[in-house]
Structure 1
């Protein structure tokens, strides 16, 4: 008979054993093929019952590798890493019943548990299955094929349960994704505005969950207000904060809060709603009055919007977009980066001429971080983006598809999906198609 901390049952079983353990590299999961190796951890205090289990399995084609532990204490070392089938006697010297089963189920998270009960304790087996065991067997009523089949089916049931659980989680994840996306990327309120908004969003390859990029556009009291922002970091907390900021901004605009007061109020909301002090948001806000050919821009750590369309002085509709202009403003740090008492004076909006036939492109910085395909300039940056927009806008694609065409071109240069999420808004004048 072998000796040591992990011993197989042999034809002469000792009355006691040292604590059992299983080498994870050597262990393999029990599979339905009866000739494949099956790792079994038998937790049984009766040496004769342990020997009987080995003899029963020897009658089958199952290649059973059995490790025996006479007590729960002896099994504890093996349980955390064990990935096979645990045959568990429900009455051990150091534990019994529901408490014993819960301990094993909690510790051996990757294992299948089949309970062994006495003839008079069959009700314990039924309760054990209800509590999380895959199956139960009554001692004295089991032959080899039944034992092997029970373990194989237990493994398959656990796999089916795990697949069903993963499917449910994926469905919940997808629904949560959709709720967050609806909150971050809403239907804009521009029915009475002279402007049309074409939006586009594409998640980065690092994540499946929608990120903290958000946008909105609202027409109120003769003015069209547009916002786009990006909460730092990735994950559901950042997405939830982005949703909060987007909804708060819309509520403030609809409530008649002045442009100058919008951003300070939004920063207060960010600071109060964020889960971590390190979280911040970049922001770009644009406002245009009805009947005006000028627009107002405010930037808070965000890349400047691009104006596409006719060169300055060209006002006819449909002109070739031979100039891409960056609408810059006085710099201001992202929202939430400075303590409230250190906040500088919020800058006045910068005014820019917005010629008829022009279009406005707002975007998040995931686009700027794309690789431009050259060794000396690893990022597209603003210059590369301006050239990319100019090239794609003259390719003959419909205006509404420009954001998607730009992102597709950036990904082509990048050699694959972008690292970060990208949200884009293309604002065009419906009176000058």
Structure 2
């Protein structure tokens, strides 16, 4: 099997010592590409194209461990082998403690030892980088899991005759957690409240803000705050907690009356819900979308009252479901096409939520860019 060529950077200002290193590598028939820098500044400019650095600790612009620290501080620093003089073994040990892979004493190394040292240093750095990336991935996964539990909690609908189904599908940029959230709460008088929302942007800050808003919403509902005031309070929470001036959140909030004959919904820059009766989509009364949370101070959101016939269902979703691409079309999917897809799958049976998401994803040609949250309230009588 052919040995992979290793790119080595020799940082040495002494021409005699540099010539010795080159001769040792030739002696060992080492498959290396050797570059040389006379100063640390020159080495820094060549670092990105190197897999291993042979570093002399006595340079015109760097003495002792200072040069080692400067190179190790660079992003994706390569493996570093320190070259020391006959009387500097203690300094070599200190260099290893500071982050060098190993040290070699000039005049006490032959070609084979140098070859093994470089290969060992490169493989050890690769192994360390792999372990670091694995730890980072595990920490990120744990953080994502905690945030997703906060964004997508178990609903509080015990002993309610309103059934709830939810779906969540992360976007294609899996490492960038979105701020989609939902929740549902049933109160002792039989009223059922539900919310679905989407914090603009992706990342842990947006997800944490979504968790904050979702928890605040649940607390306000459980405290008996009138639905008309909840969005105003959430707006205040958003402004106080957001990490940037331009951060806003869209939301759709629904209140189902205890007798299940009517509902009221509020829109804060969010797509309006879809109502279905049996296997048919029913038009809702004209509604005012309203501005998203965090846009206008002291804005008052107004609700839209909807009569609920027997066998009703209300579906709320985040805009990741309607912003997917469509083959041979520059436009996004949009609400109208979503309704066409939904109407077709409603006729196929009760498992339409998964089928609709699957078809939208297929039309997009792969994973959707944005997260998708879908919440369905159904008459359980």
Q: TM-score normalized by structure 2?
A: 0.93
Cα deviation code 1:7-37 (max 9, x no counterpart): xxxxxxxxxxxxxxxxxxxxxxxxx965x54
Separation in structure 2 between the aligned mates of residue 293 and residue 77 of structure 1, nearest angstrom: 72
Number of residue pairs matched by the alignment: 380
Separation (CA, whole Å) in 2 of partners of 1:304 and 1:108: 47
2:164 corresponding residue in structure 1: 197
Runs of at least 5 residues in structure 2 that lack an aligned partner in the other structure = none
**2-structure distance, mates of 1:38, 1:108:** 19
8 A contact 2:266–2:301 mirrored in 1: no
Matches of 2:174 and 2:286, distance apart in 1? 31
Q: Does residue 388 of the first structure (1) align with residue 347 of the second (2)?
A: no
Distance (Å, rounded) in 1 between the aligned partners of 2:321 and 2:121: 50
Cα drift, residue 104 of structure 1: 2.4
Decide which structure has the larger Cα Rg and report it.
1
Larger RCO, structures 1/2 (Cα 8 Å, 6+ apart) = 2
Residue from 19, 24, 45 that aligns with 1:56: 24
Query: Matches of residues 117-196 of structure 1 in structure 2 within 5 Å?
Result: 117-196=84-163
Q: 2:253 and 2:33 mapped to 1: Cα distance?
A: 67
Equivalent residue number for residue 332 of structure 2 = 379
Q: 1:106 to 1:331 in 2, by over 3 A?
A: closer
Does the alignment pair 1:361 with 2:310? no
Rounded Cα–Cα distance in structure 1 between residues aligned with 2:327 and 2:242 = 37
The whole-number CA distance in structure 2 between the counterparts of 1:109 and 1:137 is 23
**For residues 67-118 of structure 1, what are the alpha-carbon distances to aligned partners after superposition, in whole Å with 9 as ceiling and x for unaligned?**
3334334434433x33232111223343222222102222474422101122
TM-score (norm 1): 0.82
CA distance in 2, matches of 1:33, 1:120: 38
RMSD (CA atoms):
2.1
Partners of 2:275 and 2:306 in 1: CA distance: 10
Change (3 A) 1:307 1:413: same
Q: Answer whether contact 1:117 1:136 (CA < 8 A) is retained.
A: yes
Q: Which runs of 4+ in 1 moved over 4 A?
A: none
Deviates more, 1:68-77 or 1:281-290: 68-77
Partner of residue 335 from structure 1, selected from 293, 304, 309: 293
Gaps of 5+ in 1: 1-31, 311-320
**Correspondence for 2:373:** 423
Q: Which of the pair is proportionally richer in strand?
A: 2
What are the Cα deviations for residues 380-429 of structure 1, in whole angstroms up to 9, with x where unaligned?
A: 32222222212111212xx3x33222111212233322222110011122
